[in-house]
Structure 1
Amino acid sequence: EEREGEDPFLTTIIMATQEIVAALTQSQSHLPGPRKEAENYLKSAGQNAGYASALINVLLAQGLDLAVQQAAAVAFKNHVKYHWEPKDDNPFNEALIPIAEEEKAQIKTHLITLMLGSSRNVQLQLSEALTIICSTDFPEKWQNLIPELVSKFQSQDQNILNGVLQTAGSIFKRYRNQYKSQELYKELKYVLDNFVGTSEGPKPFLDLFKRTVALVEASQNDVNSLKLAFQNLYTILRIYFSLHSQELPEVFEDTMDEWMGEFHKFLNYENAALESATDEESILTRVKAAICENVNVYIEKNEEEFEKYLQTFATDIWGLLLKVGAQTNKDKLTTTAIRFLTTVAKSVHHKLFEDDNTMKQICEGVVIPNLRMREDEEELFEMNFIEYIRRDMEGSDSDTRRRSACELVKSLTEKFPDKLTALCSQYISVLVQEYSTNPQANWKSKDCAMYLIMALTVRGKTAASGATSTNQLVNIGQFFQEHVVPELQSGKDTLPVLKADCLKFIITFRSQLPKDTCIALFPSIINLLMAESNVVHSYAATCVERMLALKESGKARFQEEELLQFIQTLLTSLFHGMEQPESEENEYLAKCFMRIVSFFGPKIGALTTECMKHGCAKLERICRNPTNSNFNHYMFETVAALIKSSVEGNLNNLSQYEQFLFPVFQIVLVEDLEDFAPYIFQILSQLIEVYTPPLPAVYTQIFPPLLNPVMWERSGNVPALVRLLQAYLQKQQVTGDQLQGVLGVFQKLIASKALDHQGFYILNALVESLPSSALGPYLTNIWSLLCQRLQTSSTPKYTKHFLIFLAMFIDKHGVSVVMNSIDSLQQGLFGMLLQQVLMPNFSAVKGDVESKLCAVALTKILCDCPTILSDTATWGQLLSILVSYIEGVTVNDGDEGSGFDMDAMVGYSAAYAQLHHAQKKEVDPLPNISDVRAYLAQSLSKLSHTHPLATTVSQVLSSESQNTLRSYLSAVNATLN
């Protein structure tokens, strides 16, 4: 049965709606077989025209199971996500059929009404779909959306209003983080004029706000109605925030008194019926937090307009902070309220806090209470160490009370350094004294002191160096010696929170503490790697890892020789930590392991075997039941680092390493563990590159299966497989069926806009490793594929890689071989490619090796190609382009690759999990040519002996380019005839 008034289009769609309903129902099955069958059907159906409309039809139908409705809504959202405006770079790695314009129009006609009449869960999914549509179509292609939403403002049904507001909120939310642009302001003006109203005309949004406020006042004795009114009030406040995120709109500036009056009232509003009896945040608390965020925007961006309200809201929010309790469901309100005070402290109005008594009240009433560890945080420390660390160390605590209180201290310290430093120093002394009277009972006082001194002291910091500038009024050296060192040297399992605090102190101030002091601390830190507390041994590992990674003036702060004395105990303690309960897959310990191996390199010596044995044992275990992608990545990175440091150039370790590694390889490849396969391919590449030809049989046997098309279906496999093919091609020549298989892989990759560069990597490897005669039978087909793609669906990336391949081929096998093979496809095609592809796009090729390849290739075209030599105009253009290119190329300063950021490289899934230590070594394919300027000068000089060039050069080059070329010739004592 279907709803009345259903559009005829929806009843005549191509898709069989009943079949989709059946598939959606079956997709809820607990049995994997039927569920997979249904999912495959829906995936296939998604490539047919009318699928989105069929899903709308399903959602319009009545009497369906709620789970099926939910599944239909999710399917619709996902279909819209990928098919509304399909992208070449998509997770499916295939061309997606776009939804037709007629179908889009029908969807827009029904979506709002459908959404407003749906259950909450379905509504959320449809709202997301609408937001996706709006990201491309709003407002130009959906100009009736805002009028349709505003028309619903008159509804007396609060549920409908809730849906309308939620929809508007999801659309406008994007304005919060967008960069300023004319297009953005044009869109905002459209929204403001049609949704909010104008200064002179109707103001539907303000009217709705007033009616909602009136409903709140009228619903004091009806809790359900009151809660719904507050829910709508909250969404109005969030829309208000979104529409103020860029600048203060005139229509809001003209009505500020009306808005601010109600904001003030609701900040002071109390109603026990609206408070939450659970840990969940109450709607009243959410409303107050939203108001704090709204007024915070004003103090950040519109101080002048807000000035007359500032004292009122500062008093309101200050009073709110003194009343709010420590309950977790008040955290958002507390942090937003503190953020308002922090913003005021940073502004020209900071003198509001100048009074000694005010500052004292802030410290005692806001800062210290919110820095103190609560029971839930203590429980988190003990029961969920990963979440605790993410909040405490990694910055995911940006909305916690502690972080907010710290930011307030920092802001006040910037404005009142002497006064606040003196005041906070007193509190730190009191807190430390409280601790010393009874450490077991009062350890939270010292914990609070540790947070307070770090907030007071750190002025600037970076991830690489920790604190880079500090408050010079604080003697961190004295505090460190008196209160940090003794804590680190006490029993490893006593007062674990303080141990973690002290380790965090060292991590934070690692570049400020004297080098000798840091070295002297290593035994204590290493001892804490064996602490029972997961947080403590994780922080100890992070401390070691950050110290080893620390640089001064671009060089490592610590040298291997300075720390080599600790290597045995360091590794023993680290391995012990990795066996602690819940730390068997601890990513912080794994990252430390990786850094140790990377830092010490070959100097690990005899311990490398133990490291490899331990690493491979871990990998065997996680392969069977992986739970932490970061841990997995660091462990594979460690193995790659061990191979790089102890096998390359030393084959003695290789056979022993293979005994440890091959069982891991077998598990991954036999059991088809797709998340780990890219890692295995990269490590195999490393091992193959160590050998001198011929390769052992165990490696050559792996090669044929790599060419199986199934292996290349997963996009995450492709870069690692290409890397592996490159390693093979470097060590052995492929012929016959194997060469055809490699070319088949190339053909598949070159057709994909996302992966075409990988196809070129394979071609380049073939050109480097094979004689031109081996490639000869296939060249016509290769050029045909490349040129067809160039003509029909080229991209800047494709063109760049095409030019690099062309250059590589010319450099290795000569211009005549390349020109003849291209012209065999179509006479004169080589010249057309020069004119239409090479000359307009040559300057886009960057990179030391790539630039050298292209400069040498163009020199060869100029000097070795009679056809071009006879065409003076083209020859002159090419020479001019080449001289400009050589002068414009940015030469690498040599510093790149001196370090690496592991944090940016972890994780896997569809993305390529590249191993830093297993990267292909950049080999100069033209080692005999050291200077492209000299090569050009010598080549032209040699050519001019048989083909005079001086007159031609003076005619075709600008005076500036002529002078540049003369400098090239002069540098090698050459001339042009």
Structure 2
Amino acid sequence: MASTLDHLAQLLNATLDAQHHRKAENALKEEAKKPKYSLSLLSIVSTAAQPPKTRLAAALAFKNFIRHNYVDEEGNYKLPLDEVQTIKQELVGLMISSPPTIQTQLGEAISLIADSDFWERWDTLTKDLVSRLSNTDYKVTNGVLEVAHSIFVRWRPLFQSNELNREVLHVVETFGEPFIQMLNIADQQIQANKDNAAELKGWLETMSLLTRIFYDLSCQDLPPVIETHLQPITVLLHKYLSYTNPVFGEEEDEATPLETLKSDICDALQLYTNKYDDDFGQYVQEFTNNVWNVLSSVGPERRYDSLTSKALQFLTAVASVRRHAEIFNNQQILGTIVEKVILPNVALRESDIEMFEDEPIEFIRRDLEGSDTDSRRRAATDFLRKLLESFEDLVTQVVFGYINHYLAAGKSDWKAKDTAVYLFLAIAAKGAVTAAQGVKTVNTHVNVVEFFEQHIAADLLSESSEPISKVDAIKYLYTFRSQLNKAQWATAIQPLIQNLASTNYVVYTYAAIAVERVLFLTDEQGQHMFPRDAIQPYAKDLLEHLFALIEKDTSAAKLQENEFLMRCIMRVLIVMKEGANECGIESVLNHLVSITNVIKENPSNPRFYYYHFEAIGALVRYCSSSPKVDLLARLWVPFATILNEDVSEFVPFVFQIFGLLLELNPSSQVPGDFKMLIEAVLAPGPWETRGNVPPLSRFIASIIPRAAAEIKAENKLEALLAIFQRLLAGKKTDQNAFDILEAIVGTFPADVLDPYFGTIITLVFGKLQASPTDSYKTRVARFYHLVSARAGEAKMGADFFIKHAEGIQSGVFTPFYLTVILPTTGQFARPVDRKLGVISYTKTLTDSEAFATRYAKGWGFTCNNLLDLLKNPPRVAAGFGDEIVNEADVDDIGFGVGFTPLNTCKRGPRDDFAEIVEVDKWVGLFLKDANARHGGKIAAFVEQRLTPEAKAALAPYLV
């Protein structure tokens, strides 16, 4: 056992080494397949003799193992029951006794287990936690409360449900009274240890955790135990909002446990003000005064940043409730608020300027993207805008007095000018700032364009402006981009682009951000403000310059640091479309391939490499037929290397681009190199990673029609159908299963599929029995229509489907057709699906023996449903349209987890009958031809089986 643990510990250490981490991670994947792997990791975590970094790596590996291997999609355990039980018995105690960094990882693991097991499959946990609380040892108590909070915090974003209410009730019944008691104990211990720094900090952390749990327990509804004790709880909250202690006098940068506690109290006050005004409203005025005093007493040091932000968020909540907001409705009070709270918190501080100079990328993310949710500037702005919503005239008037003052001072002091511009941005923008359009609604009391011309434009143009003044000018254009018309933008775009030549990192990055968003900007008709012909003259130089900025430092970490530059490259290529051929496509491709080869060694910025692959996708989408460059050949080498080295972050992107390359390749054959991939994608390994499933399915669906001969000759059809079966069984992968099935059915004729078709239908029907989703029924109906429409050369058709369905169970086809196919087809939304339904129904009416003889009523139903579809004959757009490509939202909480689709590689709807363009004309020709072929039999069926209205509706197609 010891040697196994030693070997595991060596592998964990190797994952921390940049040179060997990938090899070590692959070796760990193999170890993870062995029995009791999770318990071995916990054993390393608990071994004090191991170095701290090894124990932390083991805790991290344990958490990730639990995330992927604890339960399946249905919530069933993937681990043996005895292992599950041992984990639950050991984990809480281990976390409580571990150092803080390890505690964090194990806490997250407990939260993951709680997601599936708490509370019904782990109903002893709450009692176990309560039993471990200590009245004298804050370390133990804090460990217990950390676990409790990591479980309860999951409730905060959830919508109410009976199941959730039962869970909260279970916790409150067990945890409620001990929680109230613990508040009093923590309070007593803080008093008793006011001169003992270590104990005091520990017990303040306890109070902080209890305050977070107070929020957790109240986030869904007000529990009776808290409602009963609300008054004494508010006394405690007041006490610790005002609490001071000279022990904490020395700190400057890091928040002390006291600031953290006050921040947590402000969080809870915000919740109660927003959610429980009936119960809590009586306390709001007093807490508002208390929080105001806190804001007035804190300094500009960074240790107070989070507290200031949370305090401002509470005041914003107060301003959101109309009856409480009235306390601010006074010119003098608003003046005091702006002077004492807003101005100190929006003015640039030395720490901001240091970040601007020393950590420019962090400055940009905090300032622009909203990752500064806890920043003073953001919170002060939100408070000001909330006041503006209620008292627009008064707030605008008060703030403009300060804007004019700072503009005057700004003539000789750029920091004052920065404050003026920031204040203007804060009050000019109304509503949310959208990612696509910037500010859509503007304060009617201000003139955005005039302010730009008078006070901002000079900084955009001037060579001698301070870098931060340049950034303010660019950010102004970025924020109000949809307020400028086409003519105004035509004047502004060139100076904006010129700022890309700045030597300052923040300035050129902001310029790239603004250029990218302007290129994305569309008018109300959906037309680009700057279409291809408008940027063609400078696109080549722009791209070269952006690549030069990215490649200034060729280390993997630095090269992929600045995702904003790569996003701009992506946008230029998307807007240029086929015009990229004229922008030095060979050079662009060289840069992209070179960047791929560097960052694959250590992918560290998911946003950067996402935009990077979107840029490659744009080249493939628009330039794959270019005579200037063979994209397939050029991309094969770097992409094959990624697959060989199993760079897991990049594999889903590679298969999406490979799939698109195949689909756009005019040859009906598989390009030589790709043949070796068929064997690789049929192996089970790649399918085990959830994020690989959609792109692998897409790739297989693309390769099947081109490799039909090899698949048939080498007996690979069974392996493909095994993948279909595996994917069909999953809740989240059944759509991918149908992608593969449609490719198979659309490629191979009846005689090849005949031995397998009964099994296929059995699997498809089996899932129909268990409350299928609408999307599943849609895919089943589409699959049926594809089989039905492939009458003729492929020798399938409705009769082929019926034969195999009835072979499973006699009489099963009628209810399937009446309850699934007809109603689902009537609800088809996509033109391509409705077109397939029209072709299928038409061929059923003309060529199905079963419908001609056994299903006479069904023939009539089919005809009526065909006529319904023809009331609005479906038209399918050919190939890629001129639609705007929206990239994924990288601020979305799920970004980078699992599968991220490349929108430049988005597959158009599958059209198996692209040669049929005007489907209504085709129906007429086909019916007439079939009627002649069958000696007038179709016309006879029309007479015998249709109502007079249906006959009249069908008549034009038969004449």
- Among 834, 838, 849, which residue is 1:851 paired with? 834
Give the secondary structure class of the aligned counterpart of 1:555. coil
Q: Which range is displaced more, 277-286 or 814-823?
A: 814-823
Verify the 8 A CA contact 2:550 2:565 in the aligned structure 1. yes
Q: Mapping of 1:248-397 within 5 angstroms?
A: 248-275=222-249, 277=251, 279-348=253-322, 349-397=324-372
Q: Which range is displaced more, 366-375 or 117-126?
A: 117-126
- Among 874, 878, 886, which residue is 1:901 paired with? 886
- Alignment CA distance shift 1:519-1:570 (3 Å): farther
- Alignment CA distance shift 1:637-1:321 (3 Å): same
Verify the 8 A CA contact 1:146 1:194 in the aligned structure 2. yes
- Alignment CA distance shift 1:912-1:711 (3 Å): farther
Q: Mapping of 1:377-456 within 5 angstroms?
A: 377-436=352-411, 438=412, 442-456=413-427
Shift in Å, 1:450: 1.5
Deviations 1:556-592 (CA, angstroms, capped at 9, x unpaired): 2344444545445544544554455588544222222
Structure 2 regions of 5+ residues with no counterpart? none
- Number of the residue aligned with 1:809: 787
Shift in Å, 1:551: 1.5
Distance, in Å, in 2 between the alignment partners of 1:671 and 1:66 is 30
Distance, in Å, in 2 between the alignment partners of 1:885 and 1:713 is 46
Distance, in Å, in 2 between the alignment partners of 1:523 and 1:551 is 18
Verify the 8 A CA contact 1:615 1:638 in the aligned structure 2. no
TM-score normalised to the size of structure 1?
0.84
Give the secondary structure class of the aligned counterpart of 2:219. coil
What residue identity is the alignment partner of 2:165?
A: Y
Q: Mapping of 1:368-767 within 5 angstroms?
A: 368-436=343-411, 438=412, 442-460=413-431, 461-491=433-463, 494-556=465-527, 557-567=529-539, 570-571=542-543, 573-580=545-552, 585=560, 586-603=562-579, 606-609=582-585, 612-613=588-589, 615-616=591-592, 618-619=594-595, 622=598, 625=601, 627-646=604-623, 648=625, 651-654=626-629, 661=635, 664=638, 668=642, 673=647, 675-676=649-650, 678-684=652-658, 686=660, 692-693=666-667, 699-709=671-681, 713-715=685-687, 716=691, 719-728=694-703, 734-735=709-710, 740-741=715-716, 744-752=719-727, 753=730, 755=733, 757-767=735-745
What residue identity is the alignment partner of 2:314?
A: F
Distance, in Å, in 2 between the alignment partners of 1:279 and 1:482 is 39
- Among 820, 832, 843, which residue is 1:860 paired with? 843
Q: Which range is displaced more, 944-953 or 140-149?
A: 944-953
Distance, in Å, in 2 between the alignment partners of 1:80 and 1:659 is 41
Distance, in Å, in 1 between the alignment partners of 2:581 and 2:385 is 47
- Alignment CA distance shift 1:967-1:284 (3 Å): farther
- Alignment CA distance shift 1:855-1:276 (3 Å): farther
Q: Root-mean-square deviation (CA), in Å?
A: 4.1
Structure 1 regions of 5+ residues with no counterpart? 1-16, 90-95, 197-202, 955-961
Verify the 8 A CA contact 2:547 2:591 in the aligned structure 1. no
Distance, in Å, in 2 between the alignment partners of 1:575 and 1:77 is 38
Verify the 8 A CA contact 1:487 1:498 in the aligned structure 2. yes
- Number of the residue aligned with 1:161: 141
Shift in Å, 1:386: 2.2
Deviations 1:475-495 (CA, angstroms, capped at 9, x unpaired): 22221001221111111x741
Deviations 1:9-41 (CA, angstroms, capped at 9, x unpaired): xxxxxxxx6576455444445496996697356
Distance, in Å, in 2 between the alignment partners of 1:127 and 1:840 is 49
- Alignment CA distance shift 1:826-1:565 (3 Å): closer
Shift in Å, 1:785: 5.0
- Number of the residue aligned with 1:39: 28
Distance, in Å, in 2 between the alignment partners of 1:596 and 1:213 is 60
Shift in Å, 1:267: 1.1
Verify the 8 A CA contact 2:799 2:849 in the aligned structure 1. no
Verify the 8 A CA contact 2:842 2:866 in the aligned structure 1. no
Distance, in Å, in 1 between the alignment partners of 2:346 and 2:918 is 61
- Alignment CA distance shift 1:36-1:868 (3 Å): same
Verify the 8 A CA contact 2:134 2:140 in the aligned structure 1. no
- Alignment CA distance shift 1:482-1:831 (3 Å): farther
Verify the 8 A CA contact 1:717 1:912 in the aligned structure 2. yes
Deviations 1:490-510 (CA, angstroms, capped at 9, x unpaired): 11x741111111111111111
Verify the 8 A CA contact 2:885 2:904 in the aligned structure 1. no
- Alignment CA distance shift 1:700-1:756 (3 Å): farther
- Alignment CA distance shift 1:236-1:861 (3 Å): same
Q: Which range is displaced more, 926-935 or 264-273?
A: 926-935
Q: Which range is displaced more, 353-362 or 781-790?
A: 781-790
- Number of the residue aligned with 2:954: 969
Q: Which range is displaced more, 863-872 or 257-266?
A: 863-872
Verify the 8 A CA contact 1:937 1:969 in the aligned structure 2. no
Verify the 8 A CA contact 2:593 2:635 in the aligned structure 1. no
- Number of the residue aligned with 1:135: 115
Q: Which range is displaced more, 752-761 or 493-502?
A: 752-761
Distance, in Å, in 2 between the alignment partners of 1:66 and 1:627 is 24
- Among 943, 948, 951, which residue is 2:941 paired with? 948
Give the secondary structure class of the aligned counterpart of 2:121. coil
Shift in Å, 1:236: 0.7
Shift in Å, 1:751: 1.8
Distance, in Å, in 1 between the alignment partners of 2:386 and 2:283 is 22
Distance, in Å, in 1 between the alignment partners of 2:798 and 2:328 is 78
Verify the 8 A CA contact 2:867 2:953 in the aligned structure 1. no
TM-score normalised to the size of structure 2?
0.85
Matched-pair identity in %: 25
- Alignment CA distance shift 1:131-1:937 (3 Å): farther
Q: Which range is displaced more, 664-673 or 809-818?
A: 664-673
Distance, in Å, in 2 between the alignment partners of 1:868 and 1:593 is 57
Verify the 8 A CA contact 1:529 1:540 in the aligned structure 2. yes
- Alignment CA distance shift 1:433-1:287 (3 Å): same
What residue identity is the alignment partner of 2:401?
A: Q
- Alignment CA distance shift 1:64-1:832 (3 Å): farther
Shift in Å, 1:727: 4.8
- Alignment CA distance shift 1:488-1:745 (3 Å): same
What number of residue pairs does the alignment pair up? 922
Shift in Å, 1:513: 1.5
- Alignment CA distance shift 1:614-1:227 (3 Å): same
- The answer on 1:177 being equivalent to 2:157 is yes
What residue identity is the alignment partner of 2:486?
A: K
Distance, in Å, in 2 between the alignment partners of 1:613 and 1:99 is 46
What residue identity is the alignment partner of 2:305?
A: D
Give the secondary structure class of the aligned counterpart of 1:813. coil
Distance, in Å, in 1 between the alignment partners of 2:644 and 2:232 is 70
Shift in Å, 1:673: 4.9
Verify the 8 A CA contact 2:384 2:426 in the aligned structure 1. yes
